[in-house]
Structure 1
Amino acid sequence: MHPLIVHQPDPEHPGWWTWDVSGEERYNATIGRLLVRADGPGRARCRMFPGTLQSNLGNVVHGGAILTFIDMALFAGGKLAGISDISHSVTLDLACQFISPAELRIPLDCTVELLRETGRLAFMRGLVEQEGRTVASWSGTLRKGGERR
């Protein structure tokens, strides 16, 4: 685990853990609070709480905020789904299909399924859901242990 990530049980949401990156000056802070939990072998679930900061001019969640959420789920969810080491990993690719708009002030969940892990790569897929409705589907690949700068 990266030393700047605060990962501990969330007292307000039993069964969920925090995934907070220290420092509001980092890009990760743009999606707000992120929670994560294991969801069975090779699976995890991440949750964000979209508000006005994540909205677009149509007053729904901005697509860029959803993509950021998915990218962060590759790491947070990937770790809880069983990826051996995500420290200093990088996203190689991320494909996303937006299916329906996401409303503000209603939690968004991102399912993460670890499809395969090799020595250097981790392949995943999942859905972004809100109240049982599919908002987006995605697939992505991490390159593990990316070069530290």
Structure 2
Amino acid sequence: MSEGAGHLSPVADGPWAGWLSWKDTAPGTFLDAIGTSYSRSDAPGEATVMLATRPSHANRLGALHGGFLASFADHACFAALGAMGRPEQAEAITIDLNMQYCGSGGIGPDLRAEVELLRETGRLMFMRLTIWQEDVLVAASSATVRKASAPK
């Protein structure tokens, strides 16, 4: 992992001022396909992750591709953990990710993932999130994440 990975920093200006974003966007990785996300935590164990939609996120019908939504759900879990003050978990591993597609999202409006850390054990974190576009529920997801090993 490159230096700065997993470390969110505040956005200083623009529409996302006050939100957090990764310093290292990992150019050349799958994260390029997702785009830059912005996150914040307003309550313990809860965070919001925002992402702009773009034409490369669409399927043949012009709606948001289900694979993209699943990728965003996975990404949002880690962005949320960083916003919750757990940046060391950027190296955690997704054990399972379940998706329920609830509606059709489109290109243009931002996506909003509302993420909740439901439970944490010694090695696992259980998370749930909903993905919204404006006020329309697009998808819901649950994930189990195996925590990153402690540095030796």
**Post-superposition offset of 1:78:** 2.1
| Identical-pair percentage | 32
TM-score (norm 2): 0.87
Give yes or no for contact 1:7–1:17 (8 Å, CA) kept in 2.
yes
Tell me, yes or no, if the aligned pair for 1:45 and 1:111 is still in contact at 8 Å.
Answer: yes
Alignment length (residue pairs): 148
- Checking the alignment, whether the CA contact within 8 Å between 1:43 and 1:77 is kept in structure 2 is yes
1:59 lines up with 2:62 in the alignment: yes
* CA deviation profile, 1:16-35 (whole Å, cap 9, x unmatched): 11135433210111111211
Please list, as runs of the form range in 1=range in 2, the aligned pairs for 1:28-67 lying within 5 A after superposition: 28-67=31-70
Residue number in structure 2 paired with 1:14: 17
Q: Give distance in 1, aligned partners of 2:149 and 2:137.
A: 32
Aligned 8 A contact 2:39 2:50 in 1:
yes
Give the one of 112, 123, 127 matched to 2:126: 123
1:9 Cα deviation after fit = 1.8
Residue 144 to residue 130, structure 1, CA distance change in 2 (3 Å): same
Could you tell me how far apart the structure 2 residues matched to 1:133 and 1:72 are? 20
Unaligned runs of 5+ in 1: none
Letter in 1 for 2:70: L
Provide TM-score, normalisation by structure 1. Answer: 0.88
Deviation at residue 133 of structure 1 after TM alignment: 1.0
Query: Aligned with 2:43: secondary structure?
Result: coil
In angstroms, what is the RMSD of aligned CA positions? Answer: 2.3
| TM superposition shift of 1:103 | 1.2
The answer to whether the 8 A contact 1:116-1:124 is kept is yes
Structure 2: any 5+ residue segments left out of the alignment? none
TM-superposition CA deviations, 1:29-84 (whole Å, max 9, x none): 11112111112111001011111111111111111111111101111112323548
